[in-house]
Structure 1
Amino acid sequence: MIDLHCHLLPGVDDGARDMEEALALAQLAVEQGITHSVLTPHIHLRHYPNTLESLTPHFHRFKKALAQRAIPLQVALGAEVRMAPELLLGEAWKGLPKLGSTEQGRPVLLLEMPYSHVPAGTAQLLRWLSSQGVQPVVAHPERNREIIAHPSLALTLKGTGAWLQGTLSALGGSFGVEIKRVAWELLDKGAYHYLASDAHRIDKRSTRVEHVLQMLTEGLGFEQTQVLTQDRPWAIVASRF
């Protein structure tokens, strides 16, 4: 699996609390079949005012620690960016960490909505980013309360040209029956461009993904599961590794 959404970088957001937990998550990821991970710490002005410059030293320390422990997880630095005008409009998006790029060379940017609702103007913002040459990805739409009530809203966002990223643990039921139902509905409708772990901590929302991958293989078949967890993610990040 190629994981394009995880919070393994220690001490910078609500993910891994320290280096030991980060390394434990990385070791578990390897054991579960994850070979490459793009680390996506939150960038959120109010709670996690991270920047590419502030995150880079943390990334290099983590990469060095992986090598010292001989943990064969390949990593790159990205971010999960809160969908806010201050972070995205004008030239601001250019300074944000990207996941990778499309086959056409468009930078791929992972975006997060609030869980409570789909903010007014979200579709317009996604279209504007596309007009700037960006490929936006909307993280875990299945966990947004407004989309839970009206799953077709996720398809409306996809209709802007944005990609949607589903979360494996949501498909596995870790967030409850209702979110699992919406996640599988979106999956069945072909809404997701790829799936990721969104791993945070070793004791909750970890990199333990093998059982959900098995469920997907049984439900979708091996080829489609590979498209969602390996082929499409790798097409985005191949140039980074």
Structure 2
Amino acid sequence: MIDLHSHMLPEVDDGARTLEEALEMAGMAVACGITHMVLTPHINLRHYPNSLESLTPVFEAFQAAVKSRALPLQLALGAEVRIAPELLMGTAWQKLPTIGQLNGKPVLLLEMPYSQVPAGTIELIRWLTQQQVQPVIAHPERNREVMAHLSLAQDLKHAGALLQGTVGAFTGDFGEGAKAAATQLMQGGLFDYLASDSHRQDKRSPQLSTVLAELNRAWGEERMLALTETLPWQIAQSKFA
């Protein structure tokens, strides 16, 4: 699996709390077959005012620690950016860590609040695509407004966004509403790729072997390969060149 959404980077958001916990999570990721990860700490002006400049030294230290443990896990730095005009409009988006490139365009992973699809989101997605940026909406199945009106997910895609589902949503990790929405979005072919959105050892861990095996049985190996390796690698490969 190529995992494009993880909060493994220690002590920068609500993910790994210590370096040792982050290293344990890296070992868990390797054990379940993850070979490459783009780490995506939150960038959220209110709660996690991270930046490329502040995250880079933390990432480099963690990358060195993973190498010192001889873990066969390739790492790159990205971010999960909370939708906000201050972060995305004008040229501000150019200072944000991307998760890779697709068709020559930088790819930004964007987070909506769980309660709603913010007013202006469709217009923002269209504007970003006009700037030759490829937006990705993280875990739409966990947004309460999308749960209630799945057509909103189609609207996001029609505006130009990719949709990233979370593996744990299919087993009820985020509640029955998110599970039902994830299943319906998968049935409708609306997910472009899946990711772990792992946070901690004991909560939303990167140990996905059992879940991925269940998804392979439910949706077929060919489709799961496309969702967990093919497109994720197309996006991320520039980060590992």
TM category, shorter: over 0.9
Aligned position for 1:47: 47
- How far residue 211 of structure 1 moved from its aligned partner, in angstroms, is 1.4
5 Å-filtered alignment, 1:148-187, equals: 148-187=147-186
- How far residue 110 of structure 1 moved from its aligned partner, in angstroms, is 0.2
What SS class does the counterpart of residue 57 from structure 2 fall into? helix
Q: Using the alignment, how far apart are the partners of 1:157 and 1:239 within structure 2?
A: 25
- How far residue 216 of structure 1 moved from its aligned partner, in angstroms, is 1.4
Q: Using the alignment, how far apart are the partners of 1:2 and 1:195 within structure 2?
A: 9
Aligned position for 2:104: 105
For residues 187-226 of structure 1, give each alpha carbon's deviation from its aligned partner in whole angstroms, at most 9, with x where no partner exists. Answer: 1101111000000000010001111211111111111100
5 Å-filtered alignment, 1:33-44, equals: 33-44=33-44
Aligned position for 1:64: 64
- How far residue 69 of structure 1 moved from its aligned partner, in angstroms, is 1.1
Letter in 2 for 1:64: A
Aligned position for 1:124: 123
What SS class does the counterpart of residue 38 from structure 2 fall into? strand
Aligned position for 1:237: 236
Aligned position for 1:215: 214
Q: Using the alignment, how far apart are the partners of 1:219 and 1:123 within structure 2?
A: 32
For residues 80-114 of structure 1, give each alpha carbon's deviation from its aligned partner in whole angstroms, at most 9, with x where no partner exists. Answer: 00000000000000010000001x20000000000
What SS class does the counterpart of residue 6 from structure 1 fall into? coil
- How far residue 138 of structure 1 moved from its aligned partner, in angstroms, is 0.2
Aligned position for 2:138: 139
Q: Using the alignment, how far apart are the partners of 1:116 and 1:142 within structure 2?
A: 11
Q: Using the alignment, how far apart are the partners of 1:167 and 1:5 within structure 2?
A: 9
Letter in 2 for 1:100: G
For structure 2, which runs of at least 5 residues remain unmatched after alignment? none
Aligned position for 2:90: 90
Letter in 2 for 1:38: V
- How far residue 77 of structure 1 moved from its aligned partner, in angstroms, is 0.1
For residues 118-150 of structure 1, give each alpha carbon's deviation from its aligned partner in whole angstroms, at most 9, with x where no partner exists. Answer: 111100000000000000000000001111111
- How far residue 151 of structure 1 moved from its aligned partner, in angstroms, is 1.3
For residues 21-66 of structure 1, give each alpha carbon's deviation from its aligned partner in whole angstroms, at most 9, with x where no partner exists. Answer: 1001100000011000000000000100000000000000000000
Letter in 1 for 2:56: T
Question: % of aligned pairs identical?
Answer: 61
What SS class does the counterpart of residue 159 from structure 2 fall into? coil
- How far residue 173 of structure 1 moved from its aligned partner, in angstroms, is 1.4
Q: Using the alignment, how far apart are the partners of 2:210 and 2:183 within structure 1?
A: 16
Q: Using the alignment, how far apart are the partners of 2:234 and 2:68 within structure 1?
A: 29
For structure 1, which runs of at least 5 residues remain unmatched after alignment? none
Q: Using the alignment, how far apart are the partners of 2:85 and 2:203 within structure 1?
A: 31
Q: Using the alignment, how far apart are the partners of 2:171 and 2:209 within structure 1?
A: 10
Aligned position for 1:206: 205
What SS class does the counterpart of residue 237 from structure 1 fall into? helix
Superposition RMSD in Å: 0.6
